[in-house]
């Protein structure tokens, strides 16, 4: 991609850019500099599972709270500020406490994210994972985009030979662990640089809740129990890792045990006291990480860590229904996917068909439209076959491209998407807003299956192996470059004022994002209403590949609507496992109230007690 879009973020002297000014006064910020090329992603579970978070193959048998404290406010409305997260009441409360102490939306989001990782025991999110965010700064009336995703390893010259994750059975006992699958982490650099640019409270304050949770302990919940059972072979590979999940009596933690993480607490306290993340990127911890990865055959080097910088890039912007939707920018692809889909909704005039929960026609078309982003990756020569479309990342943002796609879809010319037949009749996401009107949408993830396959822990921090399912993407990105990601945190602006901050996770993150934005922007749903509405998830993916069937919420759609949509050829079937998770916060224009929402299928799982917290 062109150099003008991205740059290394260590330079704080970002130049303001108005080239994408889509509203009265709204600006986006971008720093100039070099960037790496964008690869075409190979579609399938290889990519989608990276943001599934900790969805379970079957529901836990017992309810067990995932935190040691509950939000002091359990509601979806606030007067001054709000924090919403997909998991962890204690994490959300930590963010709310930061807001009340005078912290910014950025402070709150970062504190929440670190507490979520602590509550997860490094399972589906990690301090060595990734972070992406879109941030509205009220003081400058500017939207910023930060990319703290993985870098590829400079010394890895043959990524296609990295041992692969068994995507048909990712929890299999037959694992092929390799340190070569470890990438250069960005999460903690994101914490440092996000706070450096937009934080208000002392850096150490952001760590208070995470250190307390790690030192004092949390109930070992049903989700952790189930994942530990599935991955005991991975957790047991390395003595340091098994020690993290072993009680004083030598047995693994059981449901309801007080799960303490003293090694993690010591690591976090060291970082907090130093006031930066040098310990993790150039210090003793970094040296231990490199040693552990190389013990497993990896090629990670100290220079990879020392040279890592976050990228501040210009967000991708879509004009839709009188709103400007700012999404995660290049070199990532999530924002392009969102923009393309919104342009398709406009070209198809989906709004006129009625809301998808009540209209079989709208439901059928929406399931097809949200497949389109996958088609280009499976069929790279599609532009040669369908006149008017442009599958470059720039071209996919254009409305003319969407119009051509819609025409081709109606004609049945797009693979894995089809027009309706005629009928006779983990990851985690966080959204915050503070008293000054700053807003944040954030996604962070381990970007692999639970704890990965190597089972490496370094002083309490889990080490992902995200290259185990992204060999082609790593190869296309090239050695030592940023690996594009499909995350899609975003912001919505209306009449020059911030309206909504959001993020989505899970296998159906793209589908959930589009459904929620459609409900809010076209049908005036509140975030709570939109997040809680019945939804369709990701298309079915089997060992044989992508099918033409699509998952929907279990037991929540009107059966008559589903039946009619299936008569049109929608191929809908019930499964919550492929649902997307979404969280968002809105500043209501008429009242200036803070309204929050989080996806019902995630918030009400037996091991998750997360709720919006406003004050």
Q: How far apart are the first and last CA of the chain?
A: 42
pLDDT band for position 88 (50/70/90)?
Answer: confident
DSSP 115-164: HHHHHHTTSSS-TTSEEEEEEEETTTTEEEEEEE-PBPPTT---GGGSPP
pLDDT value at residue 61:
31
Position of tokens 């491209």? 401
Give me the mean pLDDT over the 143-158 stretch. Answer: 96
Please state, for a pLDDT cut of 70, what percent of the chain lies above it. Answer: 81
* Angle of helix 262-274 versus helix 208-216 axis, rounded to 10: 160
Q: Number of C-alpha atoms within 13 angstroms, CB side, residue 320?
A: 33
**Tens digits of residue pLDDT in 485-523:** 888 899 999 999 999 999 988 878 889 999 999 999 999
**Tens digits of residue pLDDT in 251-283:** 999 999 999 999 999 999 999 999 999 999 999
In this predicted structure, the answer to whether residue 609 has a pLDDT above a threshold of 50 is: yes
Instruction: Provide the H-helix boundaries in 167-306.
Output: 187-198, 208-216, 222-230, 232-235, 239-244, 262-274, 278-281, 284-295, 302-306
In this predicted structure, the answer to whether residue 413 has a pLDDT above a threshold of 90 is: no
Instruction: Provide the H-helix boundaries in 275-357.
Output: 278-281, 284-295, 302-306, 334-348
Distance CA 306, CA 303 (A): 5
pLDDT band for position 11 (50/70/90)?
Answer: very low
Torsion region of 412: left, alpha or beta (phi above 0 gives left; psi -120 to 50 gives alpha): left
pLDDT value at residue 274:
97
pLDDT band for position 379 (50/70/90)?
Answer: low
Give me the mean pLDDT over the 581-610 stretch. Answer: 78
CA distances from 518 to 87, 345, 355, 612 (A): 24, 8, 9, 21
Distance CA 572, CA 569 (A): 8
pLDDT value at residue 504:
86
**Tens digits of residue pLDDT in 349-366:** 999 999 999 999 999 888
pLDDT band for position 63 (50/70/90)?
Answer: very low
Give me the mean pLDDT over the 537-545 stretch. Answer: 75
CA distances from 9 to 22, 30, 245, 317, 418 (A): 24, 9, 36, 21, 42
Identify the sign of the CA torsion 345, 349, 351, 355: negative
In this predicted structure, the answer to whether residue 46 has a pLDDT above a threshold of 90 is: no
Provide the 10 A C-beta neighbour count for residue 570. 27
pTM of the model: 0.84
Q: Are 114 and 210 in contact (CB under 8 A)?
A: yes
pLDDT value at residue 608:
57
């Amino acid at each position: 991609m062109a150099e003008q879009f991205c740059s290394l973020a260590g330079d704080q002297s970002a130049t303001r850019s108005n080239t994408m000014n889509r509203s009265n006064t709204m600006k986006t910020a971008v720093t100039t500099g070099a960037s790496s090329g964008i690869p075409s992603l190979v579609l399938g579970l290889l990519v989608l599972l990276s943001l599934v978070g900790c969805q379970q193959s079957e529901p836990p048998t017992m309810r067990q709270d995932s935190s040691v404290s509950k939000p002091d406010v359990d509601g979806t409305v606030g007067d001054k500020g709000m924090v919403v997260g997909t998991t962890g009441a204690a994490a959300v409360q930590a963010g709310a406490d930061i807001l009340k102490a005078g912290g910014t939306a950025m402070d709150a989001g970062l504190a929440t994210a670190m507490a979520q990782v602590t509550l997860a025991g490094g399972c589906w999110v990690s301090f060595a994972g990734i972070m992406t965010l879109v941030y509205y700064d009220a003081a400058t009336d500017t939207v910023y985009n930060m990319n703290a995703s993985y870098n590829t390893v400079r010394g890895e010259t043959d990524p296609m030979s990295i041992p692969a994750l068994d995507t048909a059975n990712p929890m299999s006992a037959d694992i092929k662990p390799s340190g070569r699958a470890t990438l250069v982490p960005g999460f903690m650099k994101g914490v440092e640089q996000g706070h450096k640019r937009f934080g208000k409270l002392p850096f150490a304050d952001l760590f208070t809740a995470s250190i307390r949770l790690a030192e004092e302990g949390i109930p070992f919940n049903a989700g952790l129990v189930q994942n530990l059972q599935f991955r005991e072979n991975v957790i047991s590979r390395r003595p340091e890792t098994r020690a993290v999940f072993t009680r004083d009596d030598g047995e693994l933690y059981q449901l309801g045990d007080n799960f303490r993480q003293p090694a993690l607490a010591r690591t976090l306290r060291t970082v907090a006291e130093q006031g930066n993340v040098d310990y993790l990127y150039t210090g003793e911890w970094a040296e231990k990480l490199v040693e552990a990865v190389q013990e497993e055959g990896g090629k990670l080097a100290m220079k990879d860590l020392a040279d890592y910088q976050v990228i501040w890039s210009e967000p991708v912007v879509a004009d839709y229904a009188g709103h400007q939707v700012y999404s995660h920018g290049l070199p990532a692809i999530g924002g392009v996917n969102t923009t393309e889909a919104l342009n398709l909704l406009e070209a198809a005039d989906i709004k006129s068909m009625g809301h998808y929960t009540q209209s079989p026609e709208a439901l059928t078309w929406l399931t097809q439209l949200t497949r389109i982003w996958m088609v280009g990756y499976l069929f790279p020569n599609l532009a040669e076959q369908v006149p008017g479309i442009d599958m470059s990342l720039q071209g996919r943002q254009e409305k003319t491209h969407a119009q051509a796609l819609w025409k081709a879809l109606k004609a049945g010319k797009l693979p894995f998407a089809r027009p309706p037949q005629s009928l006779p009749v983990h990851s985690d996401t966080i959204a915050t807003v503070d008293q000054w009107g700053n807003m944040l949408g954030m996604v962070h993830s381990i970007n692999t299956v639970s704890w990965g396959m190597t089972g490496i822990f370094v002083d309490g921090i889990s080490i992902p192996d995200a290259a185990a399912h992204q060999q082609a993407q790593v190869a296309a990105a090239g050695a030592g470059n940023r690996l594009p990601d499909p995350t899609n945190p975003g912001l919505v602006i209306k009449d020059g004022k911030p309206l909504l901050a959001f993020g989505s996770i899970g296998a159906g993150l793209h589908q959930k994002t589009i459904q929620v934005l459609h409900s809010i922007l076209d049908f005036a749903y509140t975030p709570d209403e939109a997040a809680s509405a019945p939804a369709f998830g990701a298309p079915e993916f089997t060992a044989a590949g992508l099918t033409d069937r699509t998952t929907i919420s279990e037991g929540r759609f009107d059966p008559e609507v589903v039946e009619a949509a299936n008569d049109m050829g929608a191929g809908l079937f019930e499964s919550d496992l492929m649902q997307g998770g979404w969280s968002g916060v809105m500043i209501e224009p008429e009242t200036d109230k803070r309204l929050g929402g989080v996806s019902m299928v995630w918030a009400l799982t037996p091991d998750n007690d997360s709720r919006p917290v406003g004050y």
